[in-house]
Copies of this chain bind each other. A is one copy, B any other.
Amino acid sequence: MADINQAEKYVNMTDLNEPLSRGRKGGGAKRGEGATAGGKGSPMPEAKLHEFAELLFFAYRDFTGDPDAILKDFGFGRAHHRVLHFVNRHSGLRVADLLDILNITKQSLSRVLKQLIDQGFVEQQAGSSDRRERLLYPTERGRALAERLAAPQFVRLTNALEAAGPGAEAALRAFLEAMINAEDRPKVSSIMSTMPAETRQGDKGDGT
């Protein structure tokens, strides 16, 4: 799939420190005119890419903003949300799975996971085939909170998908998947295909 052919030139662009005339320093200078970018007149693709980067920033900022407000009332933060989400959606996963998903250290995870367990949002259960494993399940309260946190995100996503148009979902999915590190894509696929079944007990072969 699309290699870095097209993209390569942007990498090279890194080294170009183009001497843009942008400053306009000095007291009374009015900033009036352009001196925009590299001096190529046509609508540069870089501008487009910058726009997508910024849209992504704003979109994600607001996407996470909704649950953050709710979480504050529980004394939780975004980290708790992430943990609760994955425990709820992929219940029965191991601590190691969670570490792998979140890309954080077990010490960081431990802090929030402990709070979620102590306050009755998440339960642990020893693995049946390997009793060293602690399989994680949401409690009823945990599921309720997870859904409460998901609700505004669902509204947002549904509206955004609708705004994208009916046929855009596949393209959107392809876009998002391609944004993920190539080496992590199989893992992500495996995670997402793991149903939130409370029925898993000794399931560990998710192919790490």
Residues of A in contact with B (beta carbons under 8 Å apart): 1-4, 6-8, 10-11, 13-14, 16-38, 40-41, 44-46, 48-63, 65, 70, 73-75, 82, 85, 89, 91-92, 103, 119-120, 123, 125-126, 128, 135, 137-138, 140-141, 143-145, 147-148, 150-165, 167-169, 171-181, 184, 188, 191-192, 195-201
| Chain A interface mostly | helix
Q: How far is the CB of A138 from chain B (nearest CB, A)?
A: 8
Whether the pair B4, A147 counts as a contact (CB closer than 8 A) is no
Complex CA distance for A55 and B4, rounded to whole angstroms = 22
Whether the pair A36, B175 counts as a contact (CB closer than 8 A) is no
Complex CA distance for A21 and B55, rounded to whole angstroms = 31
Can you list 12 residue pairs at the A/B interface with Cβ under 8 Å?
A: A1-B163, A10-B148, A13-B151, A22-B197, A22-B198, A25-B123, A29-B198, A33-B199, A41-B158, A49-B154, A49-B157, A58-B179
Copies in the complex: 2
The interface residues of chain B lying within 8 Å CB-to-CB of A128 are 27-31
Q: How far is the CB of A195 from chain B (nearest CB, A)?
A: 6
Complex CA distance for A175 and B46, rounded to whole angstroms = 20
The interface residues of chain B lying within 8 Å CB-to-CB of A4 are 120, 141, 155, 159
Complex CA distance for A191 and B53, rounded to whole angstroms = 13
Whether the pair A73, B2 counts as a contact (CB closer than 8 A) is yes
The interface residues of chain B lying within 8 Å CB-to-CB of A157 are 37, 44, 49, 52-53, 179
